[in-house]
Structure 1
Amino acid sequence: MNSKVLSAGIIALFILVMMVLPALGQSPITAEVDRASLSTDETVALTVRINGAAGNPVAPELPPLDGFQVVGSNSGTQIRVVNGVFSSSAAYTYHLRPIETGDLVIPPISVTLNGQTYSTDPITIQVTQGSAPAQSAPVQGEPQAAPTELNGQDMYVEAFVDNETPYQGEQITYTFRFYNAVSLGNPANYEPPSFTGFWSDTEPEQVQYNTEAGGRIYNVNEVRTILFPTVAGEIIIEPTRLEVPGGFFSRGANLMTRPVTVDVQPLPPNAPADFTGAVGQYQIDAAVDLTETRVNEPVTWQVRVAGYGNIDTLPEPIWPETPGWRDFDSTSTINTEVRDGRISGSQVYEKLLIPTEAGQLTLPAVNYTYFDPEQEQYLTVSADPITVNVAPGVNGETAMFNPDDTPKVGAEGEVAETAVALKAIKPLAEGKISQPVTQKPIYWLLWLIPVFGVALHYGWQKRQAYRRQNSALIRSQQAQKKANKALKQAQKADSDPYASASQILLTYLMEKLNKPVQGLTQQELVALLSDEGVDTAVAQKAADILTTCEMGRYAPVQDSNLQSNNLLDYTKQVIDELEKEL
């Protein structure tokens, strides 16, 4: 009996050991792909899963992915508490596009948990040629160098232009970048500047990619806006704002870039007499729909100006004199596209011509003068002359009908033989003649309606223009009102006083000063407010509130004014004091 019991115990122990050993040796990180083979036209999803029994899981360190381009990423976290034991797991998914063919290898991916580094196994993927040739990653989606100020923050924004000293009318690109290393619960609200002093009519281009900085992987959202400066001199592009709403596990943020200064250069003097303002690189050609026609039969003369620049505002060519032709006003058609980050396209001008005489008539060359900012000089291009053979009209006429050749009535009322006799005009029947409508008062009252409508529209347009050109001033004037309203809502909703006070005060300062204040130290904030004319004691109160909000969630506050039950009221008091100082 004892031997049977002993044997059963040994077998049970063996089974238990065989079950436990694999678990003990199991790595907390795994990597898998949703397909093992694909073409260069497709993408593959690489998912890295991390299980951490203690502590929060950290993002994996992606190795260089030779042969692949990261075109998107997302992540998710799951937290569980079972019998008092806390555990967490995370999944990081990277969407990869192959840019080479053959057997491509995703190297081992590493993560450090509790001081120990774990790695996944390498993954081999077979890539075949798709319908389009495999290319290197496009410039617009390539990861760009991270700014030096990005050193581990959860979020960061920056803005810049690709040319700080353009010529008036030369294209520049304004780029806004949002670096984000955390998961967002809701979409961020992007508020671009008004771009006063620039012309812009194209939809901003948006690209997304990943980059690494400060040991963290950032998802970068980039918005590129094409601009054409319309005036010379220094133009300051006001900050771009980004409002990141808070989620259940994350705090919101109000981010703002630094202003961008553009020093616009005037066009060089001594421009040619036929220069009408075109800036860029252009060519010109001309054509007609008929090279053979008859007198009095129309011909369409088409002139096309094409190239790179502000196509929508290109001035019309100076049309030359056309002896032997009668011409009519021209019409134009615009075609534009964004190619490699530059606006290109054409304007096609059409003029209707009617030949007034038979023979071989010539449409002269058409010249077009523009300023090339790359060569920094004025250039002139020309369309070749066009010859049109004009035959006599269908009735044999060799010249256009002249209205002055109509028959005249003689002095004694006799009509020339070639004249057509006019029928007698029947007299109006006798009867009551109604009053003309122009003599009725309602007629003139109705005329006031469109006048009144035009005046209203003009006033509304002026108001909108003022708001666009003075958006920063309007925000500054309304900053206190918005802050007080937000404080009342926070008190009514019983929100976290520390998070609410911090966000409301920072937003007030950014809108009042039109300067970024997020991330400033206490000393830097006091110095900034002092430079704006705020009393040092009042500036210190604002800095104390922000410091308290950071500490208040973890430790009790001694100052009675800064305790949670008084914090929102105290914040309102300090904002009122700042409003008087500013």
Structure 2
Amino acid sequence: MSHRAFRDAWMPFAMLLCAALIFACALPAQAARHRASLDRNRIALDETVVLTLDLDASDVQSLPDIPALVREFMIVEQSSQPKPAIVNGAIDLRILVRLRLRPMREGEIAIPFDGGGPPLRLTVTPPRNVAAARAAAPAVPDAARETVFFENRVETATPYAQQSVGYTLRLYYDLSIGLSGRIDQDAPDGASLKIVGEDALPLQQIGNRFYNVQERRYVLIPERAGRLVVPPPRFLGRSSDSTSGVFGSSQELRVRGRPLELQVKPIPATAAQPWLPLRGLRLRYLQAPPQARVGETALVTVEAVADGAVAAQLPPLMLQVGEGAQSFPESAQSEDRFVDGRAEATVVRRFAIVPAREGTLRIAGPRIAWWDAQAGVARTASLPDLVLQVSPSLGGALPSPTGTPDAAADDMAGPAWQRWVPEQPWMWMLLPLAMLWGITLVFGWRMWSARKRWHDTAPAVAVAAPSSAGAPAAPALSRPDAQAWTRTLARGDRAEIARLLCALATPPAADLDEVRARLTDPAQRAAVTGLQRARWGSGDPMAAIAAVRIAFADGPHWRAHEAAAAAPLLPPLYPTP
């Protein structure tokens, strides 16, 4: 290996080493401490392994031997995270480094460390899928090939229609040059193409040369069966010789990759609907209580991990409860990743179960029908039902701490007013204070109600019915103006929207049921119904607010006699004498 190649091999860890040196100067001297581990000790050639390094910032020589590492592995992904802590009054900084590695050969591979110590050993077996491993092997450039070239591949060349296909695009460029520009990848006709995650920048050795790699991951979803051609990727930018310094000359560079061809298979006639082609699907309970109590919330959390799909393709996770309880599902939390050349989605959803009566409560576990794209068979992923023992509520009747039932009955005998008379004399002295406290509460409540009514009617427009000449004007009727209605819709306050809808009617409506009865537009009546359900917890609040905004965009449509009875916002231009 040349001196320049050895120096450039350390470039991905330059920032990490600088930060470690800075903190090493500020920390007291101590013994070198580092921990390294592999998530697995035995993998196939077409799989990846994660190397985790827990490093002491004061020991900058505890990193693995980088040149030996890149000779044996391809660094697919890398990340670092500082872990500061205070131990015995001193600052202890550790750095957590994770490297996802893909082996370049079979056999036993040792990962040595610069600071000494026993190396980590990994056993690499033959690939599970020989065709996939051959397609995943890095391209070796010819002697006549330029120092910049593309490599693109798909997870499978024979997917099903509407199946998520992993598409990986890599741009290799020699360490001796610098690139600036952009990568363009057009979507094929009859398919969608979406980027997953951020670009990875691993370092890779091919033959005797080191390359910087810009890796970009896509999810390709064919829309129909038949032949599908992925257009070739393109790079347009400038290249410069990094050994010439910042004043080195640069020149325009155009690089074009190769197109890929796929044969898309139709959806099988025996497949279940909705159609969900995957490589694998796992379900599990993250939280499942064994018992519950009447009227109290029991939380159940379900996780679904789909291999070969994005979260948007998965059906919603649902739990079925019987008549003895209510289920309130929360919004699902999802994450899309790109693992081993294909998409992987994780969806987590939590359910709040509120039992209504004691006894045994059975909750039916989720069931998802999917199609095994590798085996070509229909499968169903499911979880076992949950059986909860529901105990009575804590608010139930409690036994009397002292005395017998007969004694309690004797105590309750006599007129009802005698049971409210205090027996201790000092309790009579508290009666004036209690009365004064009650009067203060009533007075404060009336002042707060008057202030609230003044604020609620401040943005209103006074509407007065026209009066004949010489007759006293009728008292003004306070009705909400357009700006107050628009602001309330923008805030999404369901209670305030209901109040303004009742105030917009003439005469004002008593509740939303009366508002719905006076409306003529079916869409507005449906929006009011959805608003009522959302207010009482049986509907989607966001969907209800959106429906009200759309239905009442041009104002409410009242019945003919309601519209005629509504007073005009402005007096007539030419009043009738």
Q: TM-score, normalised by structure 1?
A: 0.45
Please say which structure displays the higher CA radius of gyration.
Answer: 1
Q: Could you state the TM-score of these two structures normalised by the residue count of structure 2?
A: 0.45
